[in-house]
Chains A and B, each alone.
Chain A
Amino acid sequence: MLKNICVTQFNLLKSVTSLQQQVRTTFVLKRKYDPLLHKTNQKPRRMRAKHFIYELVEDTLVKKSPNMEVVLKTFVEGVGDKGDVVSMKPNFVYNKLLLPGLATYKTPENIAKYAKTEAEKSAVKHSSPYAQRTVNMLESIVLAVIMNKDEPWVIEPWHIKASLRKAGFHCREECITLPKERIEGPDLRKENKEFNCTITINKLEQANLKCRIHHWSTDPSERLPYVLEHWKLPSEPLLDVGLPERSETPEKQA
């Protein structure tokens, strides 16, 4: 009776929850104690209280969701080129690709729609999804080129290659372009002076690499005193060529 009184007589338009959020409420359970078997064509036995004790087999809420496949609409750095079908974690796909409009769901129509045209194929802008990252990292470092203080030398591409390998960058000799001028040594006037060389990635992207010469002697007593965090200090250009000077205080060392 009370219920009937309390119910409002007005029946206005109700606000329906339009946002249907997907929730996972499935739990896979297993009986802890198996119920006893019963005879064929007989009623099953009455289950006791202990037969309603369950053990958790799987909680679908904490299950790792599988990767999602999407078609890229444009070139995305670190992911892929236009028209590529990529498989990535669903959260990344939703937040970084679908919401910004960089990709769409993988359907035959979408694949056909976003496939690269012949004109686009010929005008290649990016050789690989990670090339731009490599360019950025190469341009952010100051490479220490350690040369001998006692033996004569002329800087060659393999010196830069070995120095880059020591700094954690792997490259081939033919990717390195040195300045046209010969850089000779040992010359202590060239100590900590900067020159630029160009690294070509996949014969397409070009990175401008800052290199500084340091003199090193095999005999420990002959070595130059160590300058703390020398890569953060400003330095003079080694060559008088008008190469564009970038930031005065680079952040990282190599």
Chain B
Amino acid sequence: MMSLLTSMRALAVRQPTGEALRCLHLTAVTDAARKGTREKARKKKVKVEVKKVGFIPHNQRDKKINVKRADKHVDDSWKQVSKDDVYVGRYYRWPVYTVAEAIQCHRETHHPSMYNVPNAPLNVEIELNMQGEKATRFVDNFQRMAMIPHKFDHGEDRKIIVFTKGNEEVQAARDAGASLVGGIELIKDITSGELLLTDYQYIIAHPNILAELVALRGLMKRKFPNPKSETLGANLAEMIVKFSNGISYSASKDEYQQNFGLITASVGTLDMDAKHLEENISYLLRDVNTARPKRDGHFITRVLLKSAPSSEQLKIDPFVYVSEFYDKNAAKVKRDAEAVEETETKQATAVAN
């Protein structure tokens, strides 16, 4: 009996000491260590920002949120090709025309006996796969100018201002059709406010005036001549011709489908020579292909020829004019050439400075 009592007392006595011991372990040192790990874990966590959307009435939700949009990249390769000489188009693959055939088809519908618009503009719709090198990255919207061999009336008002020193270059630029050509005196006019740069859509410069032109960098901002956008170079006449006659086009991604890009551009009128139109199309396609991302697969997915007022869209094969797949070696060679060019222009600017 006594022994049992003593053992119980021992237990009762021991308990508080055990608690005290446990308390001893919760020191500031361990707490600090844990604090550090917690901080790390907190930093690791990426904050997910929830976009606040205003209340949308239930009867409009199907139109605004739960919309099922069809893929804009149309693939009809699963359909068969007809062997008959008369067939219903919707059961078969789209016919692929050559450019000459497509132009002939448009000329038929625009003939004086039908629509009577033989000089209608020929529009090209280029569909692009805007996916970048990674599946989640996309090519940015871009705006470019394609040089074309056969000029036509594009109906736009394009004013070009050219900065250059030296009488020969000034004369050459004037002959090429620049709206205004000048040197240091022009820069002074602009800085004093007598001349407005906003009146001119395009600014071109010769490297020999680059040092003085730096004063206008703040005014020109993104329009400041640079070799990448081909507004800075020694061959002024060619650049002016390009900017006054070229096709200005812009590729824009679809609002709801990021990997679908569309370019709509006019390449000439239907009464032009079919071969000239074909050459213009080929130059445009080659220019578009320079914006290609460094990945495998198609960039240009489909090219359609359209001409108002007819609603016909005729598919042509773009891979006659540009290479179908991404060529690593060609891209590498081009990059090297670009690098060489860049160093050259840098040297030129250094010399000018």
Contact = CB atoms under 8 A, between A and B. Distances in A.
B114 interface: yes
A162 B86 contact: no
B113 A130 contact: no
B90 A201 contact: no
A168 B115 contact: no
Nearest to A127: B84
Interface stretch (B6-14, B104-112, B285-293, B341-349): B104-112
B114 to A, nearest CB: 6
A128 interface: yes
A172 B95 CA distance: 13
A130 B84 contact: yes
A175 B85 contact: yes
Interface of B: 82-91, 95, 105, 108-109, 112-117, 310-312
A134 B310 contact: no
B306 to A, nearest CB: 13
B86 A165 contact: no
Contact of A169 (B89, B113, B117, B312): B89
Given A130-B82, A165-B312, A170 B114 contact: no
A62 B91 CA distance: 28
Nearest to B92: A170
B115 A130 contact: no
Closest 10 pairs (CB-CB, A-B): A153-B113, A171-B86, A168-B89, A162-B108, A151-B112, A201-B86, A218-B116, A148-B116, A172-B85, A162-B109
A55 interface: no
Given A146-B114, A218-B116, A166 B109 contact: yes
A148 B204 CA distance: 48
Contacts of B85: 171-172, 175, 201-202
22 contacts: A131-B84, A147-B114, A148-B112, A148-B115, A148-B116, A151-B113, A152-B113, A153-B113, A159-B113, A159-B114, A165-B105, A166-B310, A168-B88, A168-B89, A168-B90, A169-B89, A175-B85, A175-B86, A201-B84, A216-B114, A218-B115, A218-B117
Given A130-B91, A218-B117, A172 B86 contact: yes
